[in-house]
Amino acid sequence: MSDRLLVLVRHGQSEWNLKNLFTGWKDPDLTALGVEEAKAAGKRLKALGLGFDIAFTSDLGRAQRTCKLILDELGQSSLKTIRDQALNERDYGDLSGLNKDDARAKWGEEQVHIWRRSYDVPPPGGESLKDTVARALPYYCQHILPRVLRGERVLVAAHGNSLRALVMVLDGLDPDGIMKTELNTGEPLVYRLNADSTVASKDILKA
């Protein structure tokens, strides 16, 4: 009997996370801490005896590197890994590359807060979380979930907002609930699903 395993991991700390910059579809690398976070995630998964049949990641380097570091720790460096921009971080548009404090100075505290924390209001030239859900969730339903339900053990290494789209459905959250949900860098969420795709169990592997 398969345990229908799905593990979601937000990439380790990136250079722009450290600098408090809006990142979106820009492609900074992991910091030294981010590398250690990814390795530690792999070690925690290994300690539980978990391994994978396939991995999914985004089209951005920080998620891809996190995925590779986790698989290296598991001794699965050659595992098939599918990359797709459907799993990319939310596109922050004109905010991308800006320091969050500078953005507040330019547009005002309230406006930046709305862009960051509302479900359906996008920043200029960018995506809202609702937009991100609209591309990440169909990809999950078409490409990831069927594999889990067939009994494959699946790892997804992606981003705070693209993973929120999946957590929103898995945890049955409404838009307000998902906006209040924080996903820590390098912290695996271990789901086991029922045959009807609902969640049988969820564990957060904290550092």
Residue 104 CA to residue 110 CA, distance in Å, equals 8
Q: List 6's β-bridge partners, or say none.
A: 154, 191
CA-based angle 50:187:173, to the nearest 5? 100
Catalytic residue among 73, 89, 127, 187: 89
Q: Kindly state the helix (H) or strand (E) to which residue 39 belongs, with its residue range.
A: helix 32-47
Give residues with Cβ within 8 angstroms of 116, minimum separation 6.
none
Residue 59 CA to residue 85 CA, distance in Å, equals 5
Residue 127 a catalytic site member: no
Alpha carbon 105 to its chain's center? 29
Give residues with Cβ within 8 angstroms of 80, minimum separation 6.
54, 55
Task: Determine phi and psi for 113, rounding to 5 degrees.
Answer: -60, -40
Task: Determine phi and psi for 205, rounding to 5 degrees.
Answer: -90, 85
Residue 11 a catalytic site member: yes
Catalytic residue among 11, 37, 159, 187: 11
Give the residue numbers marked as catalytic.
11, 89
